[in-house]
């Protein structure tokens, strides 16, 4: 089978919405934005062996490469619409491509995102760059820089699962031998849920938001620095899944909660009156974990006592 035919069959959508005037197949796509709305645009690249294990299933690679971008759109309060894909692969293996496309479109169509352009090239390793553009009302944009002293700090979902899931995935295994907890944790890494509905629901009251890719402490620190404020979180208030609690001792759990990346939950700030009565937003659990302070540092307490968290200082070689 001709590799171009495989790619055409897998990646050229059969239908397009009214907002897509010209889709895949011309020199470029032509898109019609909603009058009066701003655009929000994000791009994220994943390299096999760097951002995910080379043996991650093709379907999960496709899903995850869309989900991590949707997560950035969620953190801006946006409504995702259009996607472009730049895919570098060693060879057009139809089975791998089919799985990849299935995962990609599964994540995209769940949020109404259409593929409008792409470019497939050959190279020595798998590099997936997805770029997503969405719409956002000008008065509903959430940046990282609006947090104010006195605001409450919240997170969606549960924290730390994905990094333990990645560790599980890296163990030698037989699928059959994995517990349901293991499968839950692995799924949290391989198939992150982008919190689009949460981002939109909080947009008018949240003062700042960031999605959690590098770990709660590191990402919250970025938000606070961008806002020129400090913060304090109570470590015992960080929401943890039963699977995480069951899998690790308390020291390991603390580490995973503060340093574990890849959860793609939202961390956001808002005046405490806005969400304190709510245990969930748009069907997703939301938990208050601390408060924004005027000082310039992020500090932690553990059951009310000061807890010195030592940041490993590791930074991914990756920046938005």
Q: Is there binding between residue 70 and a second copy (CB under 8 A)? A: no
Q: Closer CB to a second copy, residue 276 or residue 314?
A: 314
Among 9, 10, 16, 43, binds a second copy (CB under 8 A): 43
CA 44, 314, 251, 150 dihedral sign is negative
* Cα gap 279→5, rounded to integer Å: 49
Q: Is there binding between residue 32 and a second copy (CB under 8 A)? A: yes
- The residue written with tokens 């190279």 in the block is 123
Q: Is there binding between residue 284 and a second copy (CB under 8 A)? A: no
Among 26, 95, 174, 306, binds a second copy (CB under 8 A): 26
Tell me the three state secondary structure of residue 230: strand
CA 279, 135, 220, 316 dihedral sign is positive
CA 299, 246, 263, 153 dihedral sign is negative
CB neighbours (10 Å) of residue 268?
34
Q: Closer CB to a second copy, residue 86 or residue 252?
A: 86
Q: Is there binding between residue 42 and a second copy (CB under 8 A)? A: yes
Q: Is there binding between residue 137 and a second copy (CB under 8 A)? A: no
Contact 89, 129 (CB under 8 A): no
Tell me the three state secondary structure of residue 85: strand
Interface residues for a second copy in 207-266 (CB under 8 A)? 209-211, 226
Q: What is the dihedral of CA 245, 262, 70, 23, to 10 degrees?
A: -130
Interface residues for a second copy in 117-136 (CB under 8 A)? 117-125, 127, 129, 131, 133, 136
Among 40, 233, 257, 286, binds a second copy (CB under 8 A): 40
Question: What is the closest distance, in whole angstroms, from the C-beta atom of residue 168 to a second copy in the complex?
Answer: 24
Q: Closer CB to a second copy, residue 88 or residue 163?
A: 88
- According to DSSP, residue 177 is labeled G
Stretch that binds a second copy, among 74-82, 181-189, 241-249, 285-293 (CB under 8 A): 74-82
- The residue written with tokens 């549960």 in the block is 158
Among 6, 10, 86, 149, binds a second copy (CB under 8 A): 86
Number of residues that bind a second copy (CB under 8 A): 71
* Cα gap 242→247, rounded to integer Å: 9
Among 39, 149, 252, 302, binds a second copy (CB under 8 A): 39
Question: What is the closest distance, in whole angstroms, from the C-beta atom of residue 93 to a second copy in the complex?
Answer: 13
């Amino acid at each position: 089978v001709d590799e171009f035919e495989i790619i055409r069959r897998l990646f050229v959508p059969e239908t397009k919405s009214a907002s897509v005037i010209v889709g895949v197949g011309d020199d470029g796509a032509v898109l019609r934005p909603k009058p009066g709305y701003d655009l929000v645009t994000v791009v994220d690249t994943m390299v096999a062996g760097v951002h995910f294990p080379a043996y991650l299933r093709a379907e999960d690679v496709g899903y995850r490469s869309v989900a991590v971008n949707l997560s950035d759109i969620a953190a801006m309060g946006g409504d995702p619409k259009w996607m472009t894909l730049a895919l570098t692969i060693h060879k057009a293996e139809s089975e791998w491509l089919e799985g990849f496309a299935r995962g990609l479109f599964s994540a995209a169509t769940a949020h109404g995102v259409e593929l409008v352009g792409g470019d497939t090239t050959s190279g020595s390793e798998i590099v997936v760059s997805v770029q997503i553009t969405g719409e956002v009302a000008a008065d509903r944009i959430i940046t990282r820089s609006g947090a104010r002293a006195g605001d409450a700090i919240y997170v969606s979902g549960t924290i730390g699962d994905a990094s333990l899931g990645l560790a599980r995935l890296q163990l030698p295994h037989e699928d059959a031998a994995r517990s349901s907890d293991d499968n839950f944790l692995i799924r949290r890494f391989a198939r992150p849920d982008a919190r689009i509905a949460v981002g939109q629901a909080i947009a008018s009251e949240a003062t700042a938001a960031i999605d959690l890719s590098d770990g709660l402490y590191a990402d919250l620190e970025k938000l606070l620095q961008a806002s020129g404020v400090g913060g304090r979180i109570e470590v015992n208030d960080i929401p943890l899944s039963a699977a995480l609690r069951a899998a690790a001792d308390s020291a390991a759990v603390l580490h995973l909660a503060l340093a574990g990346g890849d959860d793609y939950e939202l961390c956001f700030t808002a005046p405490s009156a806005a969400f304190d009565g709510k245990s969930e937003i748009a069907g997703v659990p939301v938990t208050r974990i601390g408060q924004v302070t005027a000082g310039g540092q992020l500090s932690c307490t553990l059951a009310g006592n000061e807890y010195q968290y030592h940041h490993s200082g590791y930074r991914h070689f990756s920046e938005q």
